[in-house]
Amino acid sequence: MNDPDPFGNEPERFRTDAERFTRAPLLVPVETIHDDPADVVVDLPTPAFDVDVAIVGLGYVGLPTALAFHSAGARVAGLDVSLSRLQVIREGHPDLMPDDTERLQDALVDPDFTVTADVAVLSRAAAVIICVPTPLDDHLVPALGILQSACDTVVAAATPGQVIVLTSTTYVGCTREMLVEPLARRGLTAGRDVSVAFSPERIDPGNDRGPHEDVPRVVGGVTPECGRRAATVLHTYAKQVHLVDDPGAAEMTKLLENTFRAVNIALANEFADIARQLGIDVMGVIQAAATKPYGFMPFYPGPGVGGHCIPCDPQYLLWQLRRERIASPVIEQAMTGIALRPRRVVQRVRDALSERGRGLAGARVLVVGVAYKPNVEDLRESPALEILAELRRAGAIASYADPYFATVTLEDGSVLTGLDDPAASAPDLILVHTRHRRQDLDWLAGHPLVLDATFRLTDLPDRVTL
């Protein structure tokens, strides 16, 4: 959107002075808009909410979202079922970007910011935002238990006049199935009694390019008025809000965003393999192509993809498409390539050792960096875990070094302990999987065989790449 305010004027902001009780409410009473224009427009009841926003789930999405609302002046309650997570938050030690860490310190001394495991807080909130994880099971099928439980809890506590926004990545139609229909069974109609919408989360862990407020939010309401009310809530902190027709359009927006990334990363990986076999520097090619001011967006090869988004979100789409018998050959092929990438890395390790007269069995292989991306304490879906497991299955003596992780657990239950002094480990091959800012890699210059899976160690002229 060109206009940062989709409503034509600047939203009413909270006062942040000491007299917090004088602040304007987050949600002013609005009229209910019915789908049938012949219906009578009635005023919603206006309960005495004493919490502006309740955030359900305080993980890597929910906690930064709660802090963004609080920084904008909202009275915020964060709900999480994990008592250990709540304790970490109360102690001020969750893994956050520097700006969010500072925000948390400010929030923890403010009585208008609370974190709790008590679901009773939900009925006191003018808006409820669901930010829980939506993982896959071992068969790449959506594991919806956490989301279902969260939605059931929110539905059970729903109060007329509330705005309920689902942000967890999921399949098209989930908002209606898990919120709208159960609410109706409770006698609460979306668009009349409560406002329901979907707005995909867009938190990027480790990305310090700007505050969350600068990332536009997409909102799709069950009715136009649901969308407008949900947009008003999110516009409390988000500078731009883009309205789409309905929750399904918003749900598919997130699936497109991350499927787009997955397909292009798979293409970049394939180009890297081709370029190496042709004796061409793929990074130079990508940088050259990126000089074109239109029609091209650079994506970069690597050892695989991790985190919750790229490996998982397209699988939600594929799962639904298979149920609907809709073909998607490009997406299927891209996700197959991504799934096989760690094995391709291990094969490259084998080849690099073989070129120097060394077999993989019995070889000492050190993996540098095991987080799924730089500068985050996050192992979710990290290719490094599968790479380590594959190396061990092949008979290699595999170890790792990562300042964020003292130990890692592999899929077979094996626990590996990270090396404190990797430079002294004398490996036969060093595989650089993730490069953290806080990790000194100067010692790599003296090693004869470094396999650079990041494609970015240009200061090591003798390194080999995937």
Position 350: which residue type? R
Between CA 167 and CA 452 the distance in angstroms is: 36
Between CA 20 and CA 172 the distance in angstroms is: 40
DSSP, res 220: E
Helix (H, G, I), strand (E, B) or coil at 285: helix
DSSP, res 424: G
Whether 309 is a known active-site residue: answer yes
DSSP, res 355: T
Between CA 461 and CA 239 the distance in angstroms is: 45
Q: Which of 131, 174, 309, 312 is catalytic?
A: 309
Residues facing residue 244 across a β-bridge: 220
> Could you count the other beta carbons within 10 Å of the beta carbon of residue 39?
11
Between CA 51 and CA 116 the distance in angstroms is: 13
Contact assessment for residue 397 and residue 362, using Cβ atoms and an 8 Å cutoff: yes
Closest-CA residue to 222 (of 185, 249, 257, 256) = 249
Contact assessment for residue 441 and residue 463, using Cβ atoms and an 8 Å cutoff: no
Residue 248 CB contacts under 8 Å (≥ 6 apart), including other chains: 172, 173, 175, 176, 220
Which string of DSSP letters, residue by residue, matches 340-354?
HHHHHHHHHHHHHHH
Q: Where in the sequence numbering do the catalytic residues fall?
A: 309
